[in-house]
Amino acid sequence: MTMTMTTKPKSPQKKVKFLTYGCQMNVADSERMAAQLKKIGYENEEDAGKADLVIINTCCVRETAEEKIYGKIGELLHLKRENPALILGVVGCMAQKEGEKLIKRAPHIDFVLGTGKAAGLNETVTAAENKSRAHQVNTEFADSGDEFKSFARFYPTEPKVSAWLPIMQGCNNFCTYCIVPYVRGREYSRRPEEIVAEAETAAKNGCREITLLGQNVNSYGKEYADTNFADLLRRINAVENLRRVRFMTSHPKDLSDDVIRAMQEGEKICEHIHLPLQHGSDRILKAMNRRYDTARYRELMQKIRDNIKGAAVTTDIIVGFPGETDEDFDKLLDFIREMRFDAAFTFLYSPRSGTPAATMENQVPEKEKKARLTELMNLQNEISLEINEKLRGEVLEIMTEGESKNDPAVWTGRTRTNKQVLFPHGAEKAGDFIKVKITAPQTWILKGERLAEQNG
Ligand code: 5AD
Ligand code: SF4
């Protein structure tokens, strides 16, 4: 056999810039894509202008997200003009949804990779580097879960004090407004041993907090006889050196008593649950295909509050779902007053083509939707402030995260209930646990003072 010299110049370090939109699942996916790309010589770069590869990890849950992303893709054209060797890839939910359409609208894109194809990212990037395939589009969906599972194994090796850990992917619920089941496919779960092993590795590398991620974590493990979400929580709670365990997102219809028990018993499992309500009118909940009513939600909330001391509950609400009347909206406001959420993420209903709600009659006029959203936000802000005001003077343990956005002398951390606390920085390192006294509670954040040197 003759030896052939490879002529392809190997640049010592290739650089990738990720632009990540949407939920924490996408943030976690970008981290795992970066870990995968490391194997073919890419390191992360902050400045897109210096990158050899730009990857846009996309969201399509609302139209506003898509518009923003199309705008960003347009902006990147100038980089491609300056550096024609730049590779531009679009991945994630909107890549899955739009496919070829993306290239038609923006021919400067080199590849479009769907959500089921993330495990093949390196192969796609290598083909783009070699110019062996122009405009690669791959949005096939094997729908076996194998691709997700092999992709999830690209464990990000950079030490982090707080880590995302995807445990499952997809959604089987088909709420009538939601595009997620179409772009993320059916629910598939990773094996618990694998998840625990990852948590152990992370903890050994200095990680103190893990957030288990999935579109619907409460149905974790449905395909296995030997586990479920409560079991997984218990196993993660037992991982040495971890201090906090979080999870999201929960679906009210699947939140079992056993999960509540696991939260109550597991000393590392934080007293916070994100439990999307979506609406407070039973008629609308039915039309949304949520498969619970306000009575069931109320019961769940009672169980959470009775069993998990000091639990914070946050939620998602959609206003302006088709057919929402003034009466439905009033019911929503009343239910919000009754539930007293710590915080709510509120959204204007956005019709997503291909979902049942998009073609329902009685779409609510935009102006009406906006007026309702403002009213809802004002109410929730009042409630959040009242709840946070009760924390004035309290001493809480926070895990420090790092500098706040606006002032390097002010650091940010989180309480176990997931409230953000701003405090004047002393000698802390990210990942330290300190006690702070809350001095100025606000609607979305708490301001505090550190008590004493107390690292842990
Ligand atoms: N319009 C507005 N909000 C939506 N969400 C999901 N689909 C839509 C839509 N079509 C919201 C839900 C979900 C959150 C992640 O996004 O409240 O919980
Ligand atoms: Fe969408 Fe409903 Fe699934 Fe959440 S549970 S991802 S809202 S379909």
Helix (H, G, I), strand (E, B) or coil at 410: strand
- Rounded Cα distance between 176 and 193, Å, is 34
How would residue 135 be classed by pLDDT, with cut points 50, 70 and 90? confident
Predicted local confidence at residue 335, as pLDDT: 98
Other beta carbons within 10 Å of 295: 9
Tell me, using a 6 A CB cutoff, whether residue 173 lines ligand 2: yes
- Report CA(210)–ligand 1 centroid distance (Å): 25
- Report CA(25)–ligand 2 centroid distance (Å): 13
Give residue-wise pLDDT tens across range 314-328. 999 999 999 999 999
Q: Whose CA is nearest to atom 16 of ligand 1?
A: 61
- Rounded Cα distance between 431 and 428, Å, is 8
- Rounded Cα distance between 126 and 133, Å, is 10
For residues 179 and 356, the answer to whether their CB atoms sit within 8 Å is no
Tell me, using a 6 A CB cutoff, whether residue 215 lines ligand 2: yes
* Nearest ligand, measured from the Cα of 185: 2
Tell me, using a 6 A CB cutoff, whether residue 233 lines ligand 2: no
How would residue 8 be classed by pLDDT, with cut points 50, 70 and 90? low
The position carrying tokens 């939109």 is 21
405: left (phi over 0), alpha (psi -120 to 50) or beta: alpha
* Nearest ligand, measured from the Cα of 315: 1
Q: Quick one: average pLDDT of 201-209?
A: 96
Pocket test for ligand 1, best of 177, 284, 314, 324 (most atoms within 8 A of CB): 177
Other beta carbons within 10 Å of 83: 13
- Report CA(250)–ligand 1 centroid distance (Å): 14
- Report CA(64)–ligand 2 centroid distance (Å): 18
Ligand 1 closest atom vs CA 249: 18
Give residue-wise pLDDT tens across range 393-449. 999 999 999 999 999 999 999 999 999 999 999 999 999 999 999 999 999 999 999
Question: Has residue 229 got a pLDDT over 90?
Answer: yes
Predicted local confidence at residue 456, as pLDDT: 46
Averaged confidence pLDDT in the chain: 94
Pocket test for ligand 1, best of 318, 321, 336, 352 (most atoms within 8 A of CB): 318
In order of 130, 359, 451, the CA distances from 118 in angstroms are: 19, 31, 46
Ligand 1 closest atom vs CA 179: 7
Predicted local confidence at residue 141, as pLDDT: 79
How would residue 133 be classed by pLDDT, with cut points 50, 70 and 90? confident
Q: Whose CA is nearest to atom 1 of ligand 2?
A: 178
Residues whose CB is less than 8 angstroms from the CB of residue 126 and which lie 6 or more positions away in sequence, other chains included = 40
CA-based torsion, 303, 304, 310, 316: positive or negative: negative
How would residue 452 be classed by pLDDT, with cut points 50, 70 and 90? low
In order of 177, 355, 409, the CA distances from 370 in angstroms are: 18, 22, 38
Give residue-wise pLDDT tens across range 26-44. 999 999 999 999 999 999 9
The position carrying tokens 């000091």 is 310
For residues 377 and 346, the answer to whether their CB atoms sit within 8 Å is yes
Residues whose CB is less than 8 angstroms from the CB of residue 104 and which lie 6 or more positions away in sequence, other chains included = none
For residues 263 and 233, the answer to whether their CB atoms sit within 8 Å is yes
Ligand 2 closest atom vs CA 184: 6
